[in-house]
Amino acid sequence: MCGIIGYIGKQKAVPILIEGLKRLEYRGYDSAGISVISPPRVDEQSSLRVEAGNQQPAISKNGKIDIITVKATGKVSVLEEKINGKDIAGTIGIAHTRWATHGKPCDKNSHPHCDCQKNIFLAHNGIVENYQELKDDLIKKGHKFSSETDTEVIAHLIEEFNKKFDFKNSVLAALKLLRGTYGLAIINKKEPDKIIVARLGSPLAIGIGNGEYIIASDFSAIIRHTDQVIFMEDGEVAILTKENCEIVNMKNKSIAKEATKVEWSVEKAEKQGFDHFMLKEIFEQPDSILDAVRGRIIEKEGMVKLGGLRDVKEKLADIEKIVIVSCGTSYNAGLVGKYMLEEYAGITVEVEYASEFRYRKPLLNKNTAVIAISQSGETADTLAAIREAENKGALTLGIVNTVGSTIANETMAGVYNHAGPEIGVASTKAFTSQLSILALLTIFLGRQRGMSFVTGKRIATEMNKIPKLIANILKQAKDIKKIAKKYVQYQDFLYLGRKYNFPIALEGALKIKEISYVHAEGFASGEMKHGTIALIDKNFPTVFIAPRDSVYEKNISGMQEIKARSGKIIAIATVGDKEIKKIADDVIYIPKTLEMLTPLLSVIPLQFFAYYVGILKGLDVDKPRNLAKSVTVE
């Protein structure tokens, strides 16, 4: 969690840092802070006068280099207001937006944190697991702490080493003592021409501009400035000056790294006229699915081409079992994948919460493929699961949206979603792109295991139609809003679905919980009568996903059971189904498609429903309380 941004160059740092923080706010938004190196005052008499053409406005009143820090509890806009009117003129600075792990959200716990002498300031994303023992030791040495955070120990450790080493070697020495994870951006008044950044387990990218560098937790904060990016890897430390970027490993050995050209545009990361990112991302789904399948489906051969799996193609043919590890929405996508892969590729699939998998003793071997599904590619539990799988000799694969992310880098092979940046905290377009990739994977693995050309072609043809079918559902946004208005006062919802749409019941319930803060339970519709039905009365409506598929009749019986107990029903049904209208109170229609692909359609009304209930309640749907977009802590 948390977002870090840093700037070093010729421009005023503050506007760049604030703009970057706003882009990173989805990573955490309970408090924010900024530290900028301010040059000495430049006046007529001063011997410190800087060269003409490289002149910087003055700020430090005492004629010395200073570090100006401003912190604020709350969103970045609160920090921005606090800074307004302050003349912070420096061209080197770091900033942070926080999602609290150690210490409650408040100004004193906000980053950047500093040492006793207020020379060293740093912004940190991650957790220092051994902070307490380090802190006790530092306190014995006379250090005074001013926050409750784990992060602050890093500043004091560097201060301690800085008594005998230069800045870089002090940072390296301090990092060696840390257990846990970090993405770090550090400045030091004693060497005010530098930012040092370091990465272990928390993402960091360095954007290369013209005589400037922008570092950030992800490149949505960088793309406005440059498309040339170096993705840092674990164990790397970069020493940035305006002119140079030196990258070393923990042994201070130089590492040569190439910049990558990032294709995402600035516009893609903006709201484009929609009220919220979530709504924009719901509407983007025809395009994001097209992007996910583009160039990958060879319809006339009933085949798919997945470049990221080329090197493991032979190995995949021998795989006997797949274990999908993921969390939240990505877990729900994995469940749909299980139904697809077992039915069409004839391969056993287990789906596990990554947070459980990492603490079990999973039975894996070289004939098991463990697939991590992750939008961010940074989810700590999923990453740990993949590492565990690799240790056990399994083949590790990723279905990841964020290019250059840790899970993408650490898995042996994989497929990118290409859904573009997902900024709304509630996952929407990433989910449908995950389902699309799973459908392609089903064709890929199925054709390796005897799936006929005809079946492969049928799935491929239907998959190609999905973007247009979704575009049709999107036209119903206003009607779904009307339905949401009818139900906005309810405090509890049951979501039911069966077979391919059981995971969609889970996903629909998750969406409304996180966006609208109402209680919702997702269930397999056949399970309802084994206990959950006791909840049903006129105040407990059910969202029933019941397209015309192989379990349609069973679902209709389930609906009758709910009606018999005075429960209200919103049904998601296949267009033309008049029968269902007689039972349900409200019906949202989706077009017809292949049964295995219905989740790609049935989830869209549920995303809209959650969104509209949320905004009708006046909630901030893009940044729901207590959540963060990328969960990089356990």
Q: Which is nearer to ligand F6R, 26 or 344 (CB)?
A: 26
- Out of 288, 329, 355, 411, the residue judged to bind ligand F6R by CB under 6 A: 329
Residue 330 interacting with ligand F6R (CB under 6 A): yes
Output the CA–CA distances (angstroms, integers) from residue 300 to 57, 170, 415, 629, in the order listed: 65, 61, 22, 39
Among 69, 374, 433, 525, binds ligand F6R (CB under 6 A): 374
- Judged by CB under 6 A, does residue 432 bind ligand F6R? no
Distance, CA of 277 to CA of 29 (rounded, Å): 16
DSSP letter string, 550-575: TTHHHHHHHHHHHHTTT--EEEEEET
369/631 with CB nearer ligand F6R: 631
When the beta carbons of 35 and 428 are compared against ligand F6R, the nearer one is 428
Nearer to ligand F6R, 30 or 514 (CB): 514
Residue from 233, 281, 514, 595 in contact with ligand F6R (CB under 6 A): 514
Note whether 97 binds ligand F6R by CB under 6 A. no
The reply to whether 101 sits near ligand F6R by the rule CB under 6 A is no
Decide if 114 is catalytic.
no
**Residue of minimal Cβ distance to ligand F6R:** 328
- DSSP β-ladder status, 586-590 and 569-574: parallel
Identify the H or E element spanning 124: strand 120-125
Q: Which of 2, 114, 245, 327 is catalytic?
A: 2
**Counting contacts by CB under 6 A, is residue 630 touching ligand F6R?**
yes
> Which backbone phi and psi does 195 adopt, to 5 degrees?
-120, 135
**Residue 2 a catalytic site member:** yes
State the minimum distance, in angstroms, from the CB of residue 507 to ligand F6R.
Answer: 8
Question: Do β-strands 228-231 and 260-261 pair in parallel, antiparallel, or remain unpaired?
Answer: antiparallel
Separation of alpha carbons 119 and 159, rounded Å: 8
Q: Among residues 203, 328, 503, 558, which is the contact residue for ligand F6R, using CB under 6 A?
A: 328
Given the complex with ligand F6R, which of 110 and 332 has the nearer CB atom? 332
Residue pointed to by tokens 């021409």: 193
Peptide linkage before 112 cis (omega within 30 of 0) = yes
- Of 214 and 621, the one with the shorter C-beta distance to ligand F6R is 621
Neighbours of 429 (CB within 10 A): 29
Least distance from C-beta 401 to ligand F6R, angstroms? Answer: 8
When asked if residue 613 is in the footprint of ligand F6R (CB under 6 A), the reply is no
Given 338, 511, 623, 629, the catalytic residue: 629
- Supply the minimum distance, in Å, between the C-beta of residue 471 and ligand F6R: 22
| CB-based contacts of 576, cutoff 8 Å, min separation 6 | 589, 592
**Binding flag, residue 516, ligand F6R (CB under 6 A):** no
DSSP letter string over 243-282?
S-EEEE-TT--B-----EE----TGGGS-TT-SSHHHHHH
Give the residue among 466, 493, 528, 502 at the shortest CA–CA distance from 351. Answer: 502
Residues that bind ligand F6R (CB under 6 A): 327-330, 374-376, 379, 382, 426-427, 510, 514, 630-631
Residues involved in catalysis: 2, 629
